[in-house]
Amino acid sequence: MGMTDNLLSAGQLLVTGLLFLLILLAAARQVDWQALRRDNALQHSFFGAAVVLGFLWQLRAGISPGLSIHVFGITVITLMMGWALAVFAGLLALVITVITGREPLLMFAVNGLVTVMVPALVSYRIMLWERRRGFRNFFAYIFFCGFFGAAIAVATAGLVMCALLWSADVYSIDELVDEYLRYLPLFMIPEGFVNGTIVTGLMVFHPERLVTLDERRYLTPPR
């Protein structure tokens, strides 16, 4: 979402940096690095996702600093690889945006937290909720985890970003509502559509690429 290096206070940078490191450490402990090293298909998905996101995030719109918008795509990456590996793929994509000058290096932790970690964790929690509900229809996974999950993930990330900007006195609540929040539902629609469509395509042609998809639950009739 594009935080520039003069928007947040030193205290906010410190707090967000600590949160970033804690989540990064948790993700590093969660990833099965040996499996990633052995699985060529997973490596292709990981590095391919990072490159695609890195170039996708070059395309953005917005007028006011910190309030730019773009398609995240983190939800489908989370469903493909799990939240922890999705975090590292997203951060690698963020490195690309720093190299190309789209994002400042100083704000890497903040942008990583808002753009990558928050939507990845939200998407993963929605996937767990869908799994606990015990739905027996493939469309439940597509709709709740793909379309709905992506929309809620980008909305949560947008609210976190607005909270940071408001607490830093960059924008008032009225300005945030006028320039961003009232348009947030419109941002949720394309995010849900893009992620949901890709998830649908993967379920049809390459379901093995969705590590969070438990096909047996949908194919086994309820008792």
Give tens-digit pLDDT for 143-170: 999 999 999 999 999 999 999 999 988 8
Give tens-digit pLDDT for 161-207: 999 999 988 889 999 998 888 888 888 999 999 999 999 999 989 98
| 190 Cβ neighbours under 8 A, 6+ residues apart | 71
pLDDT (mean) for 67-91? 92
Give tens-digit pLDDT for 4-43: 656 788 888 999 999 999 999 999 999 999 989 999 999 9
Residue that wins the pLDDT comparison between 222 and 211: 211
Enter the pTM of the model: 0.91
CA 88 to chain centre: 11
- Domain 10-219 class in CATH: mainly alpha
Q: How many angstroms separate the CA atoms of 167 and 169, rounded? A: 5
Q: Is there a contact between 96 and 50 (Cβ–Cβ < 8 Å)?
A: yes
Residue that wins the pLDDT comparison between 48 and 220: 48
Instruction: Evaluate if residue 222 carries a pLDDT over 60.
Output: no
Instruction: Evaluate if residue 221 carries a pLDDT over 60.
Output: no
| 212 Cβ neighbours under 8 A, 6+ residues apart | 78, 79, 80, 82, 124, 127, 145
pLDDT (mean) for 116-141? 93
Where exactly are the structural domains of the chain? 10-219
Q: How many CB atoms lie within 10 A of CB 131?
A: 17
Going by C-alpha positions, the residue among 9, 93, 86, 20 that lies closest to residue 57 is: 93
Amino acid at 72: F
